[in-house]
Structure 1
Amino acid sequence: MTDDEAGLEARLYVFLRERGYAVAGDGSIPEAAAEACLGLSRGTLRKRFALGTLRVPYRVESNRRWYRVCDLTRVLLGR
């Protein structure tokens, strides 16, 4: 992880904590929190994924999508 990635990831964790979003033990956050981190409105992440314009890895648990903060960091940095 580069210094840029580490710095942005740390800022994302602060952002999430300040807004009351829970972070799972593996660094995953629910879809609504991921959309907030990316500056997207609710439902946009799924729409963009379906259109193929934004590909962020996720895992499904109980029919809910979870995104890792480290993956969102890479998207925000354009990597």
Structure 2
Amino acid sequence: MDRTTILVYDTLMDLTSNAPERHAKIRQNLYDQLNLPFNKQLTLYAQVLAPASSGKLEDSSDIDNALSIAMRVIETPEH
């Protein structure tokens, strides 16, 4: 895994294992490290980070799927 993939994976794991009060800080740390434009932050939040924060990633296949979605969002060029 490359650095970005590891960072996203670690963020997903942190969101699933930490109290909701910490989630905003965890997400902001990811955004800051990736230096994502706001529209990508919104897409990443809606498609990946919010489900992780709400407990919808229940097993390793859910995490893997979320990671794949996140990487597509991050790697898709902006128009």
- Tell me which interval the TM-score lies in, with the shorter structure as reference length: 0.3 to 0.5
The structure with the greater share of residues assigned to strand is: 1
Report the TM-score when normalising by structure 2: 0.36
Q: Relative contact order, CA 8 A, sep 6+: which one is greater?
A: 2
